[in-house]
Structure 1
């Protein structure tokens, strides 16, 4: 009987204990760069930011996807067959997004 009473008491004490919980969120506040293209031919242009190639500009269309880069001033270039067809210097602050409008440079 004593064992049963101690067991019930121990069970009641352990039922009152809540395990600690922790919720961690990571916020990505890097600025984003996206493009609005006037023609589908412009999607094949090569995107370079500060001399680093990021592939085809068609990967970063406005409303679909954006290129996340660090905040600060950047030189954005679009190349077709190795020739620069578009260049613009932009400043992006933390948490800001910019959409660049690009024409057809055929």
Structure 2
């Protein structure tokens, strides 16, 4: 198989982010569940992205790094920094991680 055939077979991850809907459920101060649905842009995970995440030291969050690599917010497609991703409410972080998984999880 040559390079053109690999490309035609889908061997390379598309660089364009994919717009996807996220639903974030969390309790308010009264303990009632609030649900917010909004769109984010998700960059598909390439081998290089997965390698950057895997090479983090043990004192760094791989999930926060993945979110900072893959999630883009708003029409301006703003990226989260690692520090911002690390500080996310866990329920929102889990919803965003699921969006990353849904949009381009590599097939094992």
TM-score (norm 2): 0.24
Q: As a proportion of its length, which structure holds more helix?
A: 2
TM-score (norm 1): 0.25
> For the pair shown, which has the larger CA radius of gyration, 1 or 2?
1
Q: As a proportion of its length, which structure holds more strand?
A: 1
